[in-house]
Amino acid sequence: MAMDDSALDPDASARIRELLRPPVRRVRVWPALGAAFFAAVCALAFATSMILAPPVISNHVVQSTP
């Protein structure tokens, strides 16, 4: 009997190996892209509000110094 002769079905063995192989975990990119987009929108909104907001002090700094 040759070494490559076997009583096991090779197709069934391949299916068993495939079922026993751990599942491949795919990297999810959308949550990271969503978080980056949200951070960019927040940064732009903060920068816009800082530019458009009126100044906190109403008199000039030079006028208030002695």
Q: What is the pLDDT of residue 40?
A: 98
Which pLDDT tens digit goes with each residue over 16-59? Answer: 999 999 988 888 999 999 999 999 999 999 999 999 988 776 66
Q: Is the pLDDT of residue 65 over 70?
A: no
Q: What is the pLDDT of residue 63?
A: 63
Q: What is the pLDDT of residue 2?
A: 58
Sequential DSSP letters for 19-64: HHSPPPPPPP-HHHHHHHHHHHHHHHHHHHHHHHSPPS-SS-HHHH
Which pLDDT tens digit goes with each residue over 2-13? Answer: 556 667 788 888
Q: What is the pLDDT of residue 9?
A: 83
